[in-house]
């Protein structure tokens, strides 16, 4: 049970500066607008979700999956973490993946990185950042494995962009190797895994052309 003595009257948060109250106000405005446009919107949404996609993206607040894809609530199942990484021992991600495939019956799993990712930069800047250093290790591994190619690039921005793409492809490969995906394919599930990257400067998503068809076939 969570008891918050700082709460004001119903529907408001007593923050002293009104910042959180603004969120409640915007929520009410959004709810009212939805009801005006479609009186049965929330009734339908509360009864069922049937997304075709699982989106594994970065926690960056500038990359909200529904917004940049133009999808409505209920149309994409979302998991986000710093730098959109797939760790084989991440029970959070694995639980989401299993639920998406086995219960929601999604057809596509998308790993979407983004240029300008703070996680990519932190992984490569040589500084100590605390517990997140362990989390970001797969990015450093990818950069080390491709050091010669990266060293040939003219500037840091170009290197960070390429590492972003390389890391996203690596997460697709990691997903492919998970027992959850392998078992789904053995059962004949036509689940495809894709690697995309989003550009903060233009708002566009690019396909990295590293999709893995179910059963490693082209069908």
Residue 23, C-beta contacts closer than 8 angstroms, at least 6 positions apart? 13
Q: Is 62 annotated as catalytic?
A: yes
Catalytically annotated residue among 62, 129, 190, 192:
62
Catalytically annotated residue among 112, 117, 164, 210:
117
Q: Is 134 annotated as catalytic?
A: no
Q: Is 60 annotated as catalytic?
A: yes
Q: Is 79 annotated as catalytic?
A: no
Q: Is 117 annotated as catalytic?
A: yes
DSSP string, the chain: ----TTB-STT-B--SSSHHHHHHHHHHHHHHHHHHH-TTHHHHHHH----SEEEEEE--TT--HHHHHTPPTTSEEEEEETT----TT-HHHHHHHHHHHHTS--SEEEEEEETT-HHHHHHHS----STHHHHTHHHHHHHHHTHHHHHTSSSHHHHHHHHHHHHHHHHHHHHHHSHHHHHHHHTT---EEEEEEE-TTT--EEE-S--B-GGG---
**Residue that the structure tokens 């709460």 belong to:** 7
Catalytically annotated residue among 79, 114, 161, 169:
114
Active site positions, annotated: 58, 60, 62, 114, 117
């Amino acid at each position: 049970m969570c008891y918050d003595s700082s709460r004001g009257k119903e529907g408001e948060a007593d923050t002293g500066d009104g910042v959180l109250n603004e969120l409640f106000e915007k929520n009410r405005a959004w709810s009212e607008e939805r009801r005006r446009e479609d009186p049965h919107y929330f009734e339908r949404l509360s009864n069922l979700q049937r997304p075709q996609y699982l989106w594994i993206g970065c926690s960056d607040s500038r990359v909200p999956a529904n917004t940049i894809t133009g999808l409505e609530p209920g149309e994409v199942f979302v998991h986000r973490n710093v730098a959109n990484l797939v760790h084989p021992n991440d029970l959070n991600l694995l639980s989401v993946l299993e639920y998406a495939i086995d219960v929601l019956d999604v057809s596509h799993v998308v790993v979407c990185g983004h240029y300008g990712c703070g996680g990519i930069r932190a992984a490569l800047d040589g500084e100590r950042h605390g517990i997140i250093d362990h989390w970001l290790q797969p990015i450093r591994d990818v950069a080390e494995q491709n050091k010669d190619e990266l060293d040939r690039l003219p500037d840091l921005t170009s290197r960070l962009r390429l590492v972003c793409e390389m890391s996203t492809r690596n997460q697709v490969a990691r997903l492919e190797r998970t027992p959850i995906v392998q078992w789904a394919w053995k059962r004949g599930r036509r689940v495809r895994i894709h690697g995309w990257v989003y550009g903060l400067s233009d708002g566009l998503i690019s396909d990295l052309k590293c999709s893995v068809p179910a059963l490693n076939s082209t069908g």
